[in-house]
Amino acid sequence: MRLSSKTKVHDFKVGVHTSIAGGMSKSIERAVSLQCTTMQIFSHNPRQWRKSQITREEGERFAVLRKKYDISPVFIHASYLMNLASRSDPILRKSIKLLSYELTNADALGAEYVILHTGSAQGENEEKARNRAVKSILKAVGTTTYSASLLLENTAGERGDITSSIKTLSEIIDTCHSDRIAGICIDTCHAFSSGYDLTSYEGIETLISEIKEYVGLDKLKLIHLNDSKRPLGSGIDRHEHIGKGFIGNRGFKKILSDKRIARIPMILETPKKTEADDKRNLKTVFSMIMKGQKEING
């Protein structure tokens, strides 16, 4: 399914995960310098349980800048430390508190969404682990009224993963039955590593059909656009630069030309040693969009 000839590059919401070093508002300045129209951040150090308060001044400054530069939506990626399916009571308690903290930070910044990896089964039955994740999510969102919503992200099929398929994501969403869960985020590297062949129209159709059947295409709120360092079905989460991995240019051209997902915000989480890496990956993505338009328009 191809894009309409009326669709232009600027219709796409494309951004990167930007650093908050130097203050929250600095992340917007970095996004703007890369010509992003959407963005993703961590709201704190994602590898620490320690929490620090976002001041009112920080939140207001962030809101002013994102409005000035029309950055929307803003996504916060939740900490990697959380495991809402953990069998360890201390880890479970800290994870629930940390998820509440992420939502509080999102509201302080006016961010629309918090992206969540629900956790790992850690050798337990996956269904039991998903049920534990459901209870944990409901505890985290049940004590306070938040404006921000949660997006559940698919995983790569690594050992213990409980959400590597669209069906398993939908099971958590349906069981939670909470209006705080707005939908899902699909990571292309994770999908490919878990067995969805995104190099072919058939594989892309399978993924989109499952989203429509189990979740609803209207609940696909974000795509993490990442290539994969490992082959199809590897079950290993290793991101690669766009077009340089096993999905390759062929796959991303197909993905970016599908009108059903073309207007969904896309965030790149590709490897980054310097700012030049983000520029190069964004250039590659927009080049694919432009070439697609030339082909459509003859």
- Decide if 58 is catalytic: no
Q: Which of 161, 171, 187, 240 is catalytic?
A: 187
Q: Specify whether 239 is catalytic.
A: yes
Q: Catalytic: which of 153, 161, 171, 227?
A: 153
Candidates 117, 130, 180, 230; catalytic one:
117
Chain centre distance of CA 36 = 16
Question: Exactly one of 58, 258, 269, 277 is catalytic; which is it?
Answer: 269
Q: Residue 158 in 3-state DSSP?
A: coil
Selected catalytic residue, list 161, 227, 237, 240: 237
Look up 197 and say whether it is catalytic: no
17 is annotated as an active-site residue: no
153 is catalytic: yes
Residue 177 annotated in active site: no
- Residues paired with residue 74 on neighbouring β-strands, in sequence order: 39
DSSP sequence for the chain: -PPPTT--GGGS-EEEB---TT-HHHHHHHHHHTT-SSEEE-SS-TT-----PPPHHHHHHHHHHHHHTT---EEEEPPTT--TT-S-HHHHHHHHHHHHHHHHHHHHHT-SEEEE---B-TTS-HHHHHHHHHHHHHHHHHSS--SSEEEEEP----TTBS-SSHHHHHHHHHHH--TTEEEEEEEHHHHHHTT--TTSHHHHHHHHHHHHHHT-GGGEEEEEE-EESS-TT-----EE-TTSSSSHHHHHHHHHT-TTTTTS-EEE----SSHHHHHHHHHHHHHHHHHHHHHHH-
Active site annotation includes 213: no
Of residues 224, 227, 230, 240, which has the active-site annotation? 224
Active site residue 126: no
Selecting among 30, 44, 190, 230, the annotated active-site residue is 190
Instruction: Show the tokens assigned to 184.
Output: 């899902």
Q: Which of 44, 77, 130, 180 is catalytic?
A: 77
- Active site (annotated) includes residue 171: no
Which residues are designated catalytic? Answer: 47, 77, 80, 117, 153, 187, 190, 224, 237, 239, 269
